[in-house]
């Protein structure tokens, strides 16, 4: 009787130690998440922007390459949406030359496509089945690259001297920012794909 009581006591201790071990393994300190984000961002083309835009989401990202890529896509999508909205507003400004109006309208269209591609990527990543990992990553890489191309096409429309200087500066600043976030997201997606094996 005493023997079986002590046996169950040992079992409980054993179970508890497993429980605590596994929960401490799953817990990530804030500092290790920050280190993880910094190290991952150092592989991107714009590491400072990468770190400043993603470290604020460290409690969600923890040390997961998947959540990091996902957070980078979220940040990129919200920037693309805000750039697109700003372009729409600017395209209705008074006093624009026809050439400027037409460049703005092309841009709004390209950014609408970019937003759509980024949304699709986020959706596909969150619904991917384990068995389709390669296909999911390949789709996401294709769509995010397409978004980057759309953004570059938009900013190319504002090259050249025919454009008003202030407008050009306002537009290009926003688009370059979004394009840099997109480039970083693509690098972090590639990183995730690579680590996944």
Ligand X SMILES: *[C@@H]1O[C@H](CO)[C@@H](O)[C@H](O)[C@H]1NC(C)=O
Per CB under 6 A, residues contacting ligand X are 57, 60-61, 67, 70-71, 74
CB of 58 to ligand X, least distance (A): 10
Judge whether 37 and 61 are in contact, CB under 8 Å. Answer: yes
CB of 124 to ligand X, least distance (A): 13
Q: For residues 118 and 175, which CB has a smaller minimum distance to ligand X in the complex? A: 118
Q: For residues 7 and 196, which CB has a smaller minimum distance to ligand X in the complex? A: 196
Tokens linked to 75: 């940040």
- CA-CA distances (angstroms) from residue 4 to 13, 14, 76, 137? 14, 15, 60, 54
Q: For residues 54 and 163, which CB has a smaller minimum distance to ligand X in the complex? A: 54
Q: For residues 94 and 127, which CB has a smaller minimum distance to ligand X in the complex? A: 127
32/126 Cα distance (integer angstroms): 24
- Helical spans, DSSP H, in the chain: 2-26, 30-41, 47-54, 58-61, 65-91, 98-127, 133-156, 165-196
CB of 70 to ligand X, least distance (A): 4
Terminal CA-CA length for the chain: 53
CB of 67 to ligand X, least distance (A): 4
């Amino acid at each position: 009787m005493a023997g079986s009581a002590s046996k169950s006591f040992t079992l409980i201790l054993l179970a508890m130690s497993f429980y605590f071990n596994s929960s401490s393994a799953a817990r990530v300190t804030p500092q290790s998440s920050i280190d993880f984000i910094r190290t991952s961002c150092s592989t991107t083309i714009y590491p400072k922007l990468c770190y400043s835009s993603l470290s604020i989401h460290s409690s969600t990202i923890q040390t997961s390459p998947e959540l990091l890529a996902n957070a980078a896509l979220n940040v990129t999508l919200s920037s693309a949406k805000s750039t697109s909205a700003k372009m729409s507003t600017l395209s209705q400004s008074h006093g624009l030359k026809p050439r400027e109006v037409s460049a703005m309208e092309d841009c709004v269209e390209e950014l609408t496509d970019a937003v759509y591609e980024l949304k699709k990527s986020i959706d596909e990543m969150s619904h991917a089945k384990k068995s389709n990992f390669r296909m999911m990553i390949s789709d996401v890489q294709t769509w995010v690259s397409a978004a980057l191309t759309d953004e570059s096409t938009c900013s190319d429309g504002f090259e050249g001297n025919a454009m008003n200087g202030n407008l050009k500066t306002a537009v290009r600043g926003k688009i370059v920012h979004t394009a840099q976030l997109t480039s970083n997201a693509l690098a972090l997606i590639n990183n995730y794909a690579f680590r996944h094996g």
